[in-house]
Amino acid sequence: RHSRLFVVCDLVLEETPPGGRGGQGDDRDNRRHRLALVGIVANPAASKDIRRLVAQGRVVPDWEKVNIVRRALLGLQSVGVDRVLAMPDSSHLVQRAADDPHLSVEVELLRMTALFNEGDTVRAAAAMADEGVNCVITLGGDGTNRAVAKGSRDMAMVAISTGTNNVFPVMVEGTTAGMAAGLVASGTVPMEDATVRSKTLAVMVDGEDRDIALVDVALSKERFVATRAIWDMNTIYEVFLTRAEPSSIGLSSIGARLEAVSLTDGGGLHYRIADLRQEEEEGRPHPNPPPEGEGTKDSEAEIYVRAPIAPGSVPVVGIESWQRLADGQRVTVEQRHSTVALDGERSFSVNPDNLLEIEVRRDGPPVVSVDAALRHAAAAGVFRV
């Protein structure tokens, strides 16, 4: 059996008639669980790209991902989830996690042909939605969650960060993540009390929707996709964000130095990075350059900001221009040779003949707040025994 993680559990809460079956226990004990559909997607490739070589990015080994999944399964089990549907992956993460004497959760594999690429996640998410899954636990980075969102934007997501420069997923204990997912999936905690509808950046080429991003769209001067992961800031010249979080790392952190934009805030942010090579080519010194060796000095920069663009790297970045974007606002991008990077990875190339447009939309998947879900459940007395 393979794994690439999806959990399907269905808990239905039906009150038994007064007296219950044989009059045993109170109403809480006499509830019968309907199947609550929960999904889990674990990406074994997260945190293993080139950024481990060019920056101080952390590596999350497979054994740690297995431990996180196991704790999530135990959390699901503790709130009554008893069935899991897993997507196949190359490292068999969920089967390894399920091999535990303390687990009684039934783990099943999604019936699909695994190619062990991003398409697996997209197809699996779509299949899970068709099966009625209404909550998914993901292990990965922004790119992993983007792939799930491409498959379905209807399932609520509990996103656990195991990648690099992540904004969409968060660092959260697997046990509590599993508990929150189970509570939301079963309806014990109403969706509206524990989730926020996320935003997307719709990428349109020649008037047609081409792709989406959950956090950022970056335009690179590189003409080819190559290694995909963005690691050289000298190649980036324009960025669009749904979120600009001051505590994040990467392109979002640069935007946050201009104006913070959270998950709940409307709209997004758009900025252009000053051409890092222009001053060298034209020989024009900047009248007020940043400190020597701490970033680029470009005469086109309107403002300089210091931001952590990668783990262990906090340079000064020159900003040519920037603007706040409203929900539904569409921006037409300068037509030139470039590659379009979505949530940290170069995805496709465009040329001067292509019309490229970016639009902020509030149509992403609902994001579960683990804290809000557990707080609501505690206040309702769900955990009293």
pLDDT tens per residue, range 22-79: 444 444 433 334 467 788 999 998 766 655 555 566 788 999 999 999 999 999 999 9
The DSSP code sequence of 187-249 is TSS-HHHHEEEPPEEEEEETTEEEEEESSEEEEES-SS-TT-B---GGGEEEEEES-B-TT--
Q: Are strands 106-109 and 330-332 parallel, antiparallel or unpaired?
A: unpaired
The most confident of 46-50, 86-90, 187-191, 234-238, by mean pLDDT: 187-191
The 3 state secondary structure assigned to 285-353 is CCCCCCCCCCECCCCCCCEEEECCCECCECCEEEEEEEEEECCCCEEECCCCCEEEEECCEEEEEECCC
pLDDT at 204 over 80: yes
- Round to whole Å and give the CA distance between 278 and 23: 81
Poorest-confidence range of 63-67, 144-148, 298-302, 346-350? Answer: 298-302
- Round to whole Å and give the CA distance between 157 and 281: 47
pLDDT at 333 over 60: yes
- The pLDDT value recorded for residue 313 is 86
Classify burial at 173, counting beta carbons within 10 Å of its beta carbon; exposed 0-12, middle 13-18, buried 19 or more.
middle
pLDDT band at 6 (very low <50, low <70, confident <90, very high): very low
* Closest of 179, 134, 166 to residue 371, by C-alpha: 179
pLDDT at 383 over 90: yes
Rounded to the nearest 10 degrees, the angle between the axes of helix 142-151 and helix 118-131 is: 50
The model's pTM = 0.84
* In contact, 196 and 361? CB cutoff 8 Å: no
- The pLDDT value recorded for residue 107 is 86
- The pLDDT value recorded for residue 58 is 72
Mean pLDDT for the chain?
84
Q: How far is CA 125 from CA 84, 220, 327, in A?
A: 14, 29, 26
Which two tokens mark 261? Answer: 């934009």
Question: What is the arithmetic mean of pLDDT over 2-28?
Answer: 38
Q: What's phi and psi for 124, nearest 5 deg?
A: -65, -40
- Round to whole Å and give the CA distance between 290 and 287: 10
Question: What is the arithmetic mean of pLDDT over 279-291?
Answer: 43
- Round to whole Å and give the CA distance between 108 and 205: 39
- The pLDDT value recorded for residue 187 is 94
Q: What's phi and psi for 262, nearest 5 deg?
A: -100, 180
- The pLDDT value recorded for residue 22 is 41
- Round to whole Å and give the CA distance between 348 and 224: 8
Residue of higher predicted confidence among 228 and 43: 43
- Round to whole Å and give the CA distance between 114 and 119: 9
Which two tokens mark 220? Answer: 């690179």
pLDDT at 11 over 60: no
